Every structure is written in structure tokens, then in C-alpha cells.
Structure 1
Amino acid sequence: MEAGHPPSRTRRPRVSDPPDVPLTDLAALDYLVGGATVGVGVLDTDLRFRYVNRALERINGIPAAEHLGRTVTDLLPELAAPMDALRGVLDDGRPRDVTHSGRTPASDDPGLRFWQSTYHRLERDGEVHGLVALVLETSASLSQLQELEHVRRHLSLLDTAATRIGTTLDMNTTCHELADHVVPALADVASVEVFVPEAGKSVRPAPEGVIRLRRAGMAAVPELREAVRQFGQPGEYVDYPKGGIVTRCLETNRPEVQNLISDEQLIRSSPHPERVAAYRALGFHSLCIVPLAARGRSLGALALVRADDSPHFTDEDVVIAKELAARAVVDLDHASHYTVEHGIALELQRALLSEPREPHPHLEVATRYLAAGQGAVVGGDWFDVVPLSASRHLKVMGDVMGHGVEAAVAMSHYRSMVRLLAADDVPPHRILERLDLMVERAGIDRAATCLLAVVDRNHGLCQVASAGHLPPVFIDPGSHGRIAEIPVGPPLGTGLGGYETAAVSCGPGTVLFMYTDGLVERRGEDIEASVGRLADLRLPPSGSLDDLLDGVLERFGHDAEDDIAVLASRTRVTETG
């Protein structure tokens, strides 16, 4: 035995004796790595096995003796062997680290297995004899990483829900946000369907034996987005039959899951059984319905659909969907209450802001009201025109602080009191003084700004008084607007008084333009600069007051952050004056 080699008691290596590699070298290798946990294999220059240790034998699931003299592809046809990397190591001698996958007889699991392998060239005296492969299975590690990534995605989905759902108090917006949030993380298609009382709207009664929901939000992955439009759009009502998955979910207030759903189940659960063929054509195979309920009241349901090669719903998916629904339902509950209040306030405001009748045939009046946005809360803006005598009339523009039903009710009180006080035909500042006292005595806890203007067409004058309101604009025929410089007293409801009346020339044909602060007030801009832009106003070529207001709202109303009320009036020019 040569010096430096293992003694004769070493176990006989399981190798053939290649003519160019001494048997004693492989025996030494087996002595060193035969019991190692990492797989070790030696291949000759034809990439045929000359040695495998016990770990590689277990990894491949093939006895060591059956490896010898065979290539990797001969031995393991279902393994994506990195043959180019092996040949590259033989050619240039640079080690390679490669991750590869496949299947071996060592496992009955139909799924792929993964390995991390490192290859080194074997040389002696400048002559290449083959290469050595070190193989470590990473399937379990990858599975754990995938599971951790799955959990991370779910946690991220929950964490971001707070900032992406419930950004407004609009019911439809909240439902769209919920549907968008769960696609594609939890579903290929999602629909949020709710019971929503719609103030001021009549809804035909549902047929007997069905539950009617309104589809308020819907989302789908890009490849299904156009196709699912055939099943209806947000805003439509959907009737679900008794005994289906949706009605069971609503009745029990528990999630319902149907994986690999059958045609019979689809027919029983679908609002339109004839659509089953279309569902199948799109690859729908699994449903998860999660109830949306708050304070013992059912709001509706979140429907999740998976299609094509997406996996079926797991228990973990249901837990995540329930948690998301629980977080979103708080916002949906607030939005639901808001929808009712908003509808009542809007109807009340519409009734109170009915177009004021023209108090005299010599007077032209045009008005507009513009809400700040689709989801905006109704405010307390109002306008009015009150006849005083054959040649005089009172114009009113006001804005109650706050929004919602209470603001609209307070606005109705203010408007009624102004009409009552106007009957005494006193100067505008006297009306404001008395109104301020009446508000305090009536216990109205919402302050308001108000601008009063009494126009006397016989004398060509306008008496103006302001309670914290922005100044009016006068537009003379053929000229730009002039912003009236008038004293401004405190808002109504403060009890401070101190109002004054200013006289402004206002001859026949001069337009009096009044507005609320929503028209000009912009964040980060000085209010005087905003009001100053109104000096550019002039009558349009048509001379129409309606065209004037339409142009004003088009110019100033697009980025308004508050409701806008505007009123334009003028005394007609007649031959008799």
C-alpha cells in the first residue's frame, strides 16, 4: 500500500477500475465522503459515472452499482440534467454551480424536486480525467420558501387593505376597492354584491323565492376582464335562487366554498343557469362566497372565483378572505349609513333649492348648484329671490357650515327666516341683525355666511350687506366684471352683529353675480387672488345668463373641493324703462 493511502481495512469502493484513474484514488475518496450527507459522484470524460457515494445513491433512488458506466441522461431520463454545464467544466476547468429540477425514482411525489449542484474538473499532471459532482437536494427548502412567500403575500394583502379600501364614504367606490384588492391575490374574478337602500329611488320588488343583491363592485384578471362583462356590470341587480351557494352564505353568515364545482352546483347557484356553458368556457372551477355583515345586519357578500390553472381554495385562503371582509365591512357599514343620509340630504336640498320663480316680469334670474364630486357630502349652500314691491326684490346667497342632513335642515331654517324677515321690507343689514338674533334664540348650532342684495330698478341701485360672505360681482353691458367693495360683518349665529349696508350702482342690463366660496376657494391659494379672477367675467356673445353660468362652472368648477351655488340676475331693458 502506498504511503498516504487508507489502510487495507477500508471498505471496498463500489467502483469499476477505469484504466486512467487508479483504483486507490477512488478508494480514498470513498473513505473521505462515502458517509457524507451531500451527494458525491465522479464522472469520466465521457460523463459516465465511475463513483457515487451513499447520499447520491439515496437522492437518485438507484443502487450505486447501476450508476457505474452510465450517463446521467441514461440513468435519469426525467431529470433536467445540466449537460452543457458538465461539458463546460471539462472544457475550461471553471467550476459551475447549477440549480436543476426533475424527478427520480427516489420519490413517489408527482411534483418536481430541486437540486443545487457544484461541478469541479479532475486533473493530474495536466491531464483531464473527468469531474466530481457535489449534489444537495433543496426541494424542502424551496417548498418552505414558497410557503413563506405565500404567507408574506397574504400578510401584505391584509396590511395594505387599510389604505386601499374605504378611501371615501361612497358605497360603490368602497366595493370597487375591495374587489380590486383581492384580484389577483385571492381570485381571478371578484364581485362585491350588497343590499343597499337607495333613498329617492324605487326598485322593483324581487320575485318570490330569490334574494336580490346589487352588484356594486367587480374586478377580474386582465385575460378575463372583457369576457366577464357578459355577466353584468356594476349597478345591476342580481337575483339569486334559494338553496344556492350565495343564499346559503347569507342565511348562515358563514363562508361557503365549492372547489371543482360541478355543472349541477353551478346551475343551482347561478342567477342565470343558462350561463353555465359560458362559465365553463372561461375555465371557472372554484367558488368562495364570504358574507359581509356588520352589527347583526347583512350588507351583502364577497364572491371569489378561480379559473383555468389557478389552484382551488384552501382553508388558509378562506381565513384570509374572512379577515379581509371583516376589515372592509367596517368601511362598507359607514358607507351604507352615509348613502342613506346623503340621499335624504340631497332630496331635501333639491326640494329647497327649487328654481326660484321670477318675482317680476322685468327681472331675469338664472341659478346653478354643483356638488363637489360624485361622493361628496351634500352641503348647506342656498340661494333665493324674494319680491318686495313692484320695483324692488331681494336676492339671497348663503352657506351653512358643515355638510349632511343637519346642514341641509339648518339651511332650510335660515332660508325660511330670511323670507319671513324680508316681508318687513327693511334694509339688508337690518335683516341680517334680526336673523342673527333669531338664530341664537332658535338654538340653531350651525353658523352661516349670507349675502343679501336689494335691487331697486327704478333708481338703478343695489343695496348689499354681507355676513361673512364673499363680495358680489357686477357685470355692466359690454364690460368686464367689477367686484363690489362692501363691509363684511361676522357670520350669522355668532351673536356679534355689526352689519352694514353699502349702495352699488346697478342699472338696467347690469348683471348681479352671487356665489358661494366653493367656486373660488382653493387649497394653497390666497382667497383674494381667487376672487380677483372673477373680475374677468363678462357676458357671452349670446347675452344669455344661463350661458354665463355654464361658462363660469366650466372654468372654475372642475377642481372644486366644496359645493358651488351661483346666481345671476339682471333687470331687463325696456322701452319704457
Structure 2
Amino acid sequence: MHAEASGRDAADDASTAARDSIDRAAAALATGGEELLRHVLTDAPVGLALVGPDLRWRWANPAFCRTAAVGPERLLGGAAAEAALAAAAPALDAVLVDGSPREPSAGHPAVPRLRLRARRLVIGGRTAGLVLAALGPAEEPRPPATGPDLPHELERARIRVAVLDAAAGRIGTTLDVDTTCVELADFTVPALADLATVELLAPEAVERGAPGGTLRLHRAAAVCTAALKPHLAPLARPGESVRHPEGSAVARCLRTGRPVAAPVREGSWPGSAEQAGPAAYRAAGLDSVLAVPLTARGRVLGVLSLARAGESARAFTEDDTLLVGDLAGRAAVGIDNARRYTRSQGIALQLQQALLAEPGNPHPNLELASRYLPSGTSSVVGGDWYETVRLPFGRTLLVMGDVMGHGVEAAVDMSTYRSMLRDVAGMDLPPHRILRQLDALISENESSRPATCLLALADPGRNRWTFSSAGHLPPALVLADRPTELVVVPTGPPLGTGLGGYEQQARELLPDQVLLLYTDGLVERRGEDIDASLARLAALRLPAAGDLDDLLDSVLHALTPEAAEDDVAVLAARVRRR
């Protein structure tokens, strides 16, 4: 017992010394100073080595070579030494992925087994590889037991959980299909492979299953290490289609719904759109390949393909296949969610555009122009709307509204509120009483979404505008050679709250004056105070005397960002000259 305790104490001392040395080694490597590297590392009593992100030996100090009983020339250039490191590849890959230090064992019949401590090395914000400390000889493997090797199984499970936990924070950060695919490919390179591609079946092919013969897929992502880029230029780029002949690894993977591993030399690896794939892979030194299906909710959406350069010792193992399979399964759910969301947003956009395309019915004494712009990703479509209602005595009611929330549900609510407004406006009530009636009707349904709304009653016969607002941004009045004026309108609560309390404000209607109504997507910016956003609109000098479409072009050009964060609706109105 005393001898065993002494052995454990010695091992603990070695581990502590290794941790201290590995911290100094990482700091020295990060500074890039050769003199510091020589003093701190070369003469260190603890064996230290540097391994690249491709898990190849890069450098080792004399103490490491003595512990491994291998000369520097055999360690840094020998196949046996590379094979010894490959034995610890799953644990080392996990360190590269999540950054948590680990103590794997590495060995080969020609190289003594070592117990190592591995830490990820980050230089300039990029993963440069691993720093390894030699803790001493590893315990000799025990004879095979009749039952499962529980410690080994637990370590494998722990590595998989750590990798998947790291992936959860980096894959599926948006509801955009291509972005999710790029995040998946980025996550696997260089930690798990030297090249990763993600290719998707067309939606109709997903529904009917993979057809026979040559497959054509959409390449959504392709990521490789810097060293491979010059050799892989002939391959199809993201956005292009890729053909996979029957019998290829990808075709077999999609047909069976199971992972397929194959060496490139078999000629079974996929080609590109120009069918230059196998030659490019061989020129880049890629040898081991793995195709894993992207399966979600019982349907195969596409395939994740990984490739590694180097000797057969870096071939994909059973542990690799299980880990990548779990990773692909989680990513596939994110891709499927993004596809479903994109499809629902497309329906919402079509519904909203169809509703807004319905012609209003203003009096001939009023000129109108309107625009609707969805956000750049169509991810926030559904709530903005406008309307015109013809009233007696030459009056026209102009409406601008914004239903809170987005998607199909918001577009449906928008259509409902629009119909309600037409019915209430037909009662020829003043604007503030129209809002009161709408608020009462909408609040009767507890599932209804609140909405902001601005009414502007144009009365050219009496030269008067009358405004009333339910939580909406103020209207703008534009005259030639004058600054844009934002009208101060008493603001009541949004529709659907049941609180009421709406007022109205009358303003003089001037000849050639343009009224501009808009939703918040035109002016609001994330992280900016709304007063600053409105001041930007008020500072515009707009072409009030020209065509109203030209005025809207000027407004949208000046205020709409390239990557719109919200959809935008605008409506311009002016009394028509007789």
C-alpha cells in the first residue's frame, strides 16, 4: 500500500510540474520569441512538444525525446511516431475543439507508451495547435476482459459530450440555412478534419428520398485548412451544384442513410461540378474520407463530408464516426428548422405582399405612392401594413399600422385588423373614435397581437389634416425648400390593450404639401435612441414638388440600411392639383 501511495504521489508531482511547464511553454510560444523559447523550453526538465492542428509533430525538447526514448529525427519525421500520436487522436481532437486540457496516452509497438498532458495553443486569436507535456510512461494495457472496458467507454462518452456541448454554442446561431451549414463546416476544421463540405438535397428530393443514378446536390459550405486551399481550387464552391456518381461515398451514404468511410485511392470519393474532385483530393494529399448523412425527423437532408490528409494512421476510426454522426444529427435539426422557418417566412411574405397589393380606394383629389420592403433575410416579415378608405365629402382616411411580432401569424392578424378598420371607418367616425372601436374589438380576443396604428384623415375641401395615433411614430409633412416636419400627435396605447384614451390633432393642409407615413423599420436602429432616429428623418430635404415615387426613392435611399433589421412600409399622399 505504501509503495502504491508513493507511486500516486510521484505521478501527482509529475502532473503538477507538467502543468506549470506547459503554462510557461504556451506563454513562450505565444510571444514568438526564439530566445525565450530556447531558454524556457529547450532546457526545461519536463518533456515538452508542439503538435500542429493536423496532429503532426512540430517540435520537441530533449527531455521529451528522452522520456519517449526516441531521437528527434524519429519523433519528428517517423511513421511510428505519427502512429503513436494517432492513438490519442480522439482526445487530442477534443482538446482542439473545446480547449479543456486532457491527459491521454499515446503509443505504438515501435515507440514506448507515454502519458501526456495536452493543452490548446492559441496565438493571435487562432488555434495554432497543442502543447504536450510528457508525464511519464503509461500503464501497460490490461488483457482484454470478457465484459466492456467501462473506463474507456466513459472517456469516449465524455469526449463526445464535450464536443457536442461546444458545438451547441457555435452551430445553428441563426435561422438561415447556408449560415448553419458554414458554421458546421467551420467547427470541424481543423479539429476533426482538413476539409469539410456540406451539401444539401433539393427540397423535392428530400420529400421523395434520394433517387438512383447520379446525384446533384447544392454545396452550401466548403472549409479547408490554409495549406490545402491552392490544391482544392478546382472543386465546386458554395452555391454551386455538385454531381455524385452512383457508387460514390456520398451516393452510398445518402442511399443507406449511414456513414461511409473510404480512402481516396479507391476512386470512390465525390467529384465537383467539373468532376475534378478525385484528382484534386489526391494532389492535396487527402487520403481518408468520411461521408455522414444529415438526418432530421426521419428524412435525409444532405451530407457532411470530411477528409483528412496524411497517412492511413489518421483514417477515421469508429470513435470518429460516432462523434461526427452525433454532430451531424444535431446540425441537421438546425438546418431543418432553418428550412421550415424560411418556408414559413416565404408564405408570410407572399401573403403580406398580396394583401398590400390590393388597390386602395382614395378620392381622385388625392395622389398616393407606397412601398413595402421586407428585411434582407425575410426573417421578420409579416406585421407592416397600410390602407386607404374613401369617405363622403371628398375625404380619404390614410392608415399605417404595424402588428407586433412576425411571421405568418402576424400577417394573418394584419389582414384581420385591416378588415376591421374598413368596417369601422365606414361608420364615418372621427379618427380617435375609430381607434377606440378598433381597440375594443381587438382586445376581445385574448390571442390577438397588439398593433400600433396611425390614422390621417385628408379633408382637401376644408384644407385640413386630422391625425390620431395608437402608439405609432409621428407622421412627417414635407414642403419644397423647407425642412421635413414631424407632427406632434397625442399618442395613445397600442391597439388590443383595451385601455383606449385616444385623442386627435388637426393641422392645416397646404398646397403641394406631402404627407409621409411609415413604420419603425424605416428609422429605428438597434442601440440608437429613437429621438436620434427621428432627427435623421427630419433633417432630410426631400423633393416634395416632384413625383411621389421619386420622393419615396429619396427617403428609402437615405434611411434604409443595406442589411435591414426590420421590414419597412411607407405611404406618401398629396392633394392633386385641379
Which band: TM-score by shorter chain?
0.5 to 0.7
| Structure 2 CA distance for aligned equivalents of residues 158 and 299 of structure 1 | 20
Task: Measure the CA separation in 2 of the matches of 1:252 and 1:287.
Answer: 17
Within a 5 Å distance, the mapping from 1:126-141 to structure 2 comes to 137-139=68-70
- Higher mean C-alpha deviation, range 439-448 or range 274-283: 274-283
Match of 1:300 among 299, 302, 306: 302
Whole-angstrom CA distance in 1 between matches of 2:434 and 2:545: 36
Which of 403, 406, 420 lines up with 1:400 in the alignment?
403
User: C-alpha displacement at 1:411, in angstroms?
Assistant: 0.8
8 Å contact 1:417–1:435 — kept in the other structure?
Answer: yes
Q: C-alpha deviations, 1:401-436, integer Å up to 9, x for none?
A: 111111111111112222233333332223222222
What runs of 5+ residues in structure 1 fail to find an aligned partner? 1-94, 102-110, 119-133
Aligned letter for 1:514?
Answer: L
TM-score (normalised: structure 1): 0.68
Counterpart of 2:353 in structure 1 is 350
Aligned residue in 2 for 1:169:
175
Q: Classify the secondary structure of the residue corresponding to 2:501.
A: coil
Does residue 1:180 correspond to 2:165, yes or no?
no
User: Which residue, out of 526, 546, 551, partners 2:549?
Assistant: 546
Q: After alignment, is 413-422 or 522-531 more displaced?
A: 522-531
Q: Deviations over 1:337-360 (max 9, x none)?
A: 212211211211221222745734
Residues 47-81 of structure 1, C-alpha deviations (whole Å, 9 max, x = no match): xxxxxxxxxxxxxxxxxxxxxxxxxxxxxxxxxxx
Cα separation, partners in 2 of 1:498 and 1:206, compared to 1, 3 Å: same
Give the direction of change, closer, same or farther, for the CA distance of 1:296–1:452 in structure 2 (3 Å limit): same
Separation in 1, partners of 2:214, 2:303:
15
Alpha-carbon deviations, 1:493-551, whole Å to 9, x = none? 12222222221122221111111122333444433343243322331388343333333
CA contact (8 A) 1:450 1:468 kept: yes
Letter in 2 for 1:160: A
Say whether 1:388 aligns with 2:403: no
Partner of 2:53: none
CA distance in 2, matches of 1:341, 1:322: 28
1:218 to 216, 222, 229: 222
214 and 321 in structure 1: CA distance in 2 versus 1, 3 angstrom threshold: same
More moved, 357-366 vs 291-300? 357-366
The one-letter amino acid of 1:306's match is R
| CA distance in 1 between partners of 2:243 and 2:567 (Å) | 37
C-alpha distance in 1 between matches for 2:245 and 2:189: 26
Please tell me whether Structure 1 or Structure 2 has the larger radius of gyration of its CA atoms. Answer: 1
Q: Does 1:512 find its partner at 2:515? A: yes
**What is the match of residue 467 of structure 1?**
470
What is residue 17 of structure 1 aligned with on the other side? none
Residues 140 and 397 (structure 1), Cα distance of their counterparts in 2 relative to 1, 3 Å cut = farther
Deviations 1:306-359 (A, max 9, x none): 347794333333233223213323322321221221121121122122274573
Gap change, CA 1:270 and 1:409, over 3 Å in 2: same
- In the TM superposition, what are the counterparts of 1:63-462 in structure 2 within 5 Å? 116=62, 137-139=68-70, 147=88, 149-156=92-99, 158-195=164-201, 197=203, 209-225=213-229, 228=232, 230-263=234-267, 265-266=268-269, 273=275, 276-307=278-309, 311-354=314-357, 356=359, 359-374=362-377, 376-389=379-392, 391-441=394-444, 445-462=448-465
Q: Give CA-to-partner distance per residue, 1:350-376, whole Å, 9 cap, x none.
A: 212227457345433232333344263
Residues 387 and 305 (structure 1 numbering): CA distance in 2 closer, same or farther, change over 3 Å?
farther
Shift of 1:272: 6.2
Which secondary structure does the structure 2 equivalent of 1:164 belong to?
A: coil
CA–CA distance in structure 2, aligned partners of residues 394 and 243 of structure 1: 67
Gap runs ≥5 in structure 2: 1-42, 50-56, 76-80, 100-162
Cα 1:541–1:520 shift into 2, 3 Å: closer
User: By percentage of residues, which structure has more helix?
Assistant: 2
Question: Partner letter of residue 297 of structure 1?
Answer: R
1:273-314 CA-partner distances (Å, limit 9, x unpaired):
565445444444332111111232222211113347794333
Cα distance in 1 for partners of 2:331, 2:475 equals 46
Paired residue secondary structure (1:402): coil
Structure 1 504/181 Cα, relative in aligned 2: closer, same or farther at 3 Å? same
After superposition, the Cα gap between the structure-2 partners of 1:317 and 1:166, relative to the gap in structure 1 and judged at 3 Å, is same
- The letter of the residue matching 2:62 is Q
Q: Work out the number of aligned pairs and report it.
A: 450
SS in 1 for 2:400: strand
